[in-house]
Structure 1
Amino acid sequence: MTNTGIAMIGSGSATPPVSLDNQRLSQIVETSDEWIASRTGIRDRRVADPQTSLCSLATAASKQAIAMAQIDPSEIDLIVLATSTPDDLFGSASQIQAQLGATQAVAFDLTAACSGFIFGLVTAAQFIRTGVYKTVLLIGGDILSRWVDWSDRRTCVLFGDGAGAVVLQASECDRLLGFELRSDGTQNGCLNLSFQAQPQPLIDQITVSPGTYQPITMNGKEVYRFAVKKVPEVIEKALFRADLTVDQINWLILHQANQRIIDAVAQRLNIPSDRVISNLANYGNTSAASIPIALDEAVRAGKIKPGDVIATSGFGAGLTWGAAIFQWGI
């Protein structure tokens, strides 16, 4: 096996057609457009209806990425689906593989919440660099509306649904310039979508624990404090590994969680606002989908051009966080 470089050659994104803006949301819970927008930067979000599955969104985003990459689905060796909200708890990547007709691809799910796309990117890169696979489809997708308490205004205003995808391919030149991944389980309680058991005696001394997952809970102040401190640090470490400085970054794409976080991180890194990509106002926090959706929109708008250096960082439940520095295109 030989070490091989990585290029990101295609992107795609998909969101549900149903829009839930702040004004309509204020009819559900006691809130207002001004309250939400001033604290988060969010004005709208997309919400999946009962007929919309994660697989359908992920497949739609993937088809766009495959088309941009100008490859056939049969050329894909590996599909990595970064999600916390699969249609099937056993995994949904294989369903996407079937829907795409990617008959040669092995497929699996990866769960790292809002850091999922970054963790998935680094995971996929290892398969390419070691020569095991040549072409990888990486998808970040979540339908968090399934797991939101719509009576809790602290969380229900934040989240939206969607999927984004990229095609990674072996290349003579390595476009993944540096990365850094981190986890801190001692802060797991700050952001949860936890299982709650309902113990059921079975026979003799045996008790089983069927149950279900509970809606999202979050300590917003702690998550904000964590992100503003840790994200600039992890980006700087990834830049160090890439042997680059902040001045050499063309674009900053952060996980779209809160505009205040995005602004604070950019300020700490001294990155001007015209080099920061944000679509949070339109989609809210789409978890693992947020970075690839923002990337795809910027590429299709002509903002991001081949050769541009992009610094990106995901952060969230776990707690997990990470950063990657890459060049777009071949």
Structure 2
Amino acid sequence: MSEQTGGAADGTAYLAAIGTALPGEAVTNAVLAKTLGVNEEWIEVFIGTRTRHFARDLNTGEIRHSLADLCAQAAERALAEPGVDASEVDFVVMGTATPDTLMPATVNHVADALGLDQVPTFQLQSGCAGAVQALATARSMIASGEYRTGLVIGGDVCSKHLDVKRDLKDAAPSDLVNFVLFGDGAGAAVVTDRPVGRRVALRRVLNRFTGLGSKPGQVIEWFGLADRYDDRQALREDYKAIEERVPVMATEILWELLGELDWDADDLTYLLPPQLSGRMTKKITEELDVPGATEISCVADTGNNGNALPFLQIEKLFEKMATGEKALAVAVESSKWIKAGFALEKV
């Protein structure tokens, strides 16, 4: 753990390193369709995602990787990058919608696996905005001047809701979506108070609840001993509401962030759009209409693995980003409608 003496003079936080982890081999639409007994063409046309990765064996249901396993792998890869030392980590913040257990918090299993001790840990319970909320928390901690280096993690294991034994022949399309849309994965970033390693400044983070009076677009139930056998669906999604609202919210996020930064759309070299599905991401990117920016997307190959997605996008971004270039990421959480996003600049 580094000495907690002074953060960045201007409160800027920097992304120094990135790491990701995807479990097992990629599962194609053909394999998924055969296993679930659904139409492969429907997956390709309606969802637009080609492959995804699962922490469970698709045939037996056996758990091969826990969320803690994947997050620790991603963090180890980030901490192994040049310019980063695990002994300097002052805190850990993690965002997830699918923790391994309610207690202990999964973040503490991850810290244990990394050999970290005597550091503050935080776990934020959230969907697609959780990773952004974790970045916002880390940025605030760095700006406080009390901490110099933090580890930010995001990940989800959505396959815990994938019942391969269920007969889906009569399932409604709205129900089938949940079986073909999601995947599993994790990502991690090292955040510092100084430009080291990748030297990418985190210029802005947006995180705002905007769902006052609105019905949830997605619900994931938690079942205790008293109610685990009732007839509630574990996972419900209002795909029509998501399809209608997310593109509008994404456009609002883009222009709100640009306005706060005093950037023009032409200043952007890269755009990281919301990663709902291959089809939805394409639609949203077209509506965002930033033709001068290169799109950085991954969902068509990874599936929607929730809080891992921003890190997977950042990893691809870092392969391309040059000094002086700017990038803007947009994320929308449909569970209760949260606007999120962040802006990056390589220095």
TM-score higher than 0.5: yes
The residue aligned with 2:327 is: 310
C-alpha change, 1:73 and 1:42, in structure 2 (3 Å) is: same
Residue type at the aligned position of 2:203: L
SS at match of 2:341: strand
The residue aligned with 1:257 is: 276
The residue aligned with 2:3 is: none
Summarize deviations over 1:8-42 as a string: whole Å, max 9, x none.
11001001014321111112334333221222220
C-alpha change, 1:178 and 1:298, in structure 2 (3 Å) is: closer
C-alpha change, 1:106 and 1:246, in structure 2 (3 Å) is: same
Equivalent pair of 1:254/1:312 in contact (CA under 8 Å)? yes
Structure 2 segments unaligned to the other structure (5+ residues): 1-5, 57-62, 169-174
The residue aligned with 2:78 is: 65
Summarize deviations over 1:241-263 as a string: whole Å, max 9, x none.
11101111111112321233323
C-alpha change, 1:139 and 1:118, in structure 2 (3 Å) is: same
CA distance in 1, matches of 2:284, 2:326: 18
CA distance in 1, matches of 2:290, 2:25: 34
Return the TM-score normalized by structure 2: 0.84
Displacement of 1:134 after TM fit? 0.9
Displacement of 1:143 after TM fit? 0.1
Q: Does 1:247 align with 2:266?
A: yes
The residue aligned with 1:92 is: 106
The residue correspondences of 1:104-183 to structure 2 (distance < 5 A) are 104-148=118-162, 150=164, 151=168, 152-171=175-194, 175-183=201-209
CA distance in 2, matches of 1:197, 1:62: 31
CA distance in 2, matches of 1:326, 1:298: 10
The residue correspondences of 1:213-292 to structure 2 (distance < 5 A) are 214-272=233-291, 275-292=294-311
Displacement of 1:111 after TM fit? 1.5
Equivalent pair of 1:195/1:214 in contact (CA under 8 Å)? no
The residue correspondences of 1:192-203 to structure 2 (distance < 5 A) are 192-196=219-223, 199=226
- Point out the more displaced range, 155-164 or 302-311: 302-311
CA distance in 1, matches of 2:31, 2:98: 25
Q: Does 1:80 align with 2:90?
A: no
Displacement of 1:181 after TM fit? 2.0
C-alpha change, 1:78 and 1:198, in structure 2 (3 Å) is: closer
Equivalent pair of 2:222/2:234 in contact (CA under 8 Å)? no
Residue type at the aligned position of 2:121: A
The residue aligned with 1:55 is: 68
Equivalent pair of 2:270/2:296 in contact (CA under 8 Å)? yes
C-alpha change, 1:268 and 1:253, in structure 2 (3 Å) is: same
CA distance in 1, matches of 2:111, 2:225: 35
The residue aligned with 1:319 is: 337
Summarize deviations over 1:70-109 as a string: whole Å, max 9, x none.
3221210111111111112121111111111223432121
C-alpha change, 1:210 and 1:221, in structure 2 (3 Å) is: closer
Summarize deviations over 1:278-309 as a string: whole Å, max 9, x none.
1212111000111101221342xx32334431
Residue type at the aligned position of 2:216: G
Equivalent pair of 2:93/2:151 in contact (CA under 8 Å)? yes
SS at match of 2:110: helix
- Point out the more displaced range, 254-263 or 36-45: 254-263
Equivalent pair of 2:23/2:184 in contact (CA under 8 Å)? yes
CA distance in 1, matches of 2:71, 2:82: 16
CA distance in 1, matches of 2:133, 2:150: 14
- Point out the more displaced range, 163-172 or 77-86: 163-172
Residue type at the aligned position of 2:160: R
Q: Does 1:14 align with 2:21?
A: yes
Computed over aligned residues only, the root mean square deviation of the Cα atoms, in angstroms, reads 2.4
C-alpha change, 1:294 and 1:307, in structure 2 (3 Å) is: same
CA distance in 2, matches of 1:325, 1:242: 8
The residue aligned with 1:191 is: 218
